[in-house]
Amino acid sequence: MISAFLFRGLAGRIAWVAAAIALIGILVPLSNLFLTPEHALYVPDYIVSLFGKYLTYALLALTLDLVWGYCGILSLGHGAFFALGGYAMGMYLMRQIGSRGVYGDPILPDFMVFLNWKELPWYWYGFDQFWFAALMVLAVPGLLAFVFGWFAFRSRVTGVYLSIITQAMTYALLLAFFRNDMGFGGNNGLTDFKDILGYTLQEPSTRAGLFAAAAFALCLALIISSAIVRSKFGKVLLATRDAESRARFLGYRVEHVKLFVFTLSAMMAGIAGALYVPLVGIINPGEFAPANSIEVVIWTAVGGRGTLIGPIVGAITVNLGKSWFTAQFPEYWLFVLGGLFVAVTLFMPRGILGTLSDATGKLKSLGSGKATALVQDPADASELRKEGEAS
């Protein structure tokens, strides 16, 4: 049943994009590890790390699209789920350091020794096991989203009010994680990681493996999301987004619909964070900053929301721009980002992907003489529709 369900996700354009991501996930690490630096197709180490990071951003944007583009829940706190997944992974990596820390304590991470703590806090138990950390990567963001959503959706908080409380949620976590006595390293966060599953993090082969893992996670998340939006549940999601009370009067339990998709999205965001942390080598409370969550919204809007592929394109494009800009004109980047959001909202409300498919749609209809001729194959029809829904 599950495989049949996933197979349905592989329809149309999604199949090509998923295949392309999988191919990148295989070829880039291979090129990095087995080609010599002189080779034309060689991918240098820093590119592997940089694009690995972009892939985790793309995954984060995809999870936001699932709730925002398809269910109308504009979460301005998705960065919190990403950061929580990252912290869970960071705690595992911290405990892997063992006695190799500056203070050489076999159990306590350096910052605890520095704070003169004698014992490991109870919530750090279990994080020496990878399976436990992996479980927490899903469970912690999932549980937060479930509890948060349970109260918010049951009380029928929607629209801008919901956005504001998601923003407040991530801000509250930011303040909490800044505190030293929370036991998560305070201001400095968690860093100085040594290895993951026994592989040294500084090794190019570990980096390449992490890149492949990020590509695989993105590919799988894309297929799962696509299967969801193509199922009848996907239609219920759109129904909830477009006419919530109508969906209620048809007998749908709207709060359960939202709760399911919000929790699932938060868990996938947690995975993105968990992959991000070993790639960049640090996690600190800054990841909870409200501005980070808003940036995710911008990536999604730029790429085209309600398309699944758009947010991936948007996250990578905007971050490429960011990398270039912050190197060339560091002081202007925030203006550019803000300007980009305004420009996209005004001139490309359907984002890069929506605008592109509008253009190809027009070309095709010019060729065939009339617009309705486009809708031949049901798969194509639903494809066109998905794009229409974004507007």
Partner 1 sequence: MTEETNQMTSALLYLDDVSVSFDGFKAINGLSLTIEKGEMRAIIGPNGAGKTTMMDIITGKTRPDTGDVLFEGKMDLTQHDETEIAQAGIGRKFQKPTVFESQTVRENLELALAGNRGVWASLFYRESEEEAAKIASILETVRLTHRANELASDLSHGQKQWLEIGMLLAQDPKLLLVDEPVAGMTDAETVETAKLLREISKTHSVIVVEHDMGFIRDLGVKVTVLAEGAVLAEGSLDHVSAHPDVIESYLGR
> In the complex, which residues of this chain contact partner 1 (CB under 8 A)?
1, 5, 228, 231-233, 235-236, 238-239, 242-243, 245-254, 256-257, 260, 375, 378, 381, 385, 388-389
**Of residues 169 and 236, the one with the C-beta less far from partner 1:** 236
Q: Supply the minimum distance, in Å, between the C-beta of residue 135 and partner 1.
A: 22
* Of 194 and 248, CB closest to partner 1: 248
Count of C-beta atoms within a 10 Å radius of residue 225: 25
Residue 314's alpha-carbon distances to 55, 291, 322, 337, in angstroms, are 11, 17, 12, 12
The torsion angles phi and psi of 196, rounded to 5 degrees, stand at -130, 125
**49-75 burial code (b ≥16 CB/10 A, e <16):** bbbbbbbbbbbbbbbbbbbbbbbbbbb
C-beta of 139 vs 384, nearer to partner 1: 384
Which residue lies nearer to partner 1 by CB, 1 or 346? Answer: 1
For residue 289, the minimal CB distance to partner 1 (Å) is 33
Q: How far apart are CA 51 and CA 263, in angstroms?
A: 27
The distance of closest approach from Cβ of residue 17 to partner 1 in the complex, given in angstroms and rounded to an integer, is 22
Is residue 225 within 8 Å of residue 308, measured between CB atoms?
yes
Question: Shortest distance, CB of residue 383 to partner 1, whole angstroms?
Answer: 13
Nearer of residues 39 and 246 to partner 1, judged by Cβ: 246
User: Which of 15, 40, 71 has its CA nearest to residue 305?
Assistant: 71
CB nearer to partner 1: pick between 154 and 179: 154
Find all residues with CB under 8 Å of 152, minimum gap 6, and list them.
Answer: 162, 165
- Residue whose CB is less far from partner 1, 191 or 231: 231
CA separation for the pair 101, 106 (Å, rounded)? 8
- Residue entry with tokens 């911290």: 94
> Whose CA is closest to 30, among 48, 18, 56?
48
CB of 317 to partner 1, least distance (A): 26
* 329 backbone dihedrals φ, ψ, rounded to 5°: -130, 75
Task: Measure the CA dihedral 325/166/183/49, to 10°.
Answer: -30
Shortest separation between residue 391's beta carbon and partner 1, angstroms: 8
Query: Least distance in Å: CB of 371 to partner 1?
Result: 11
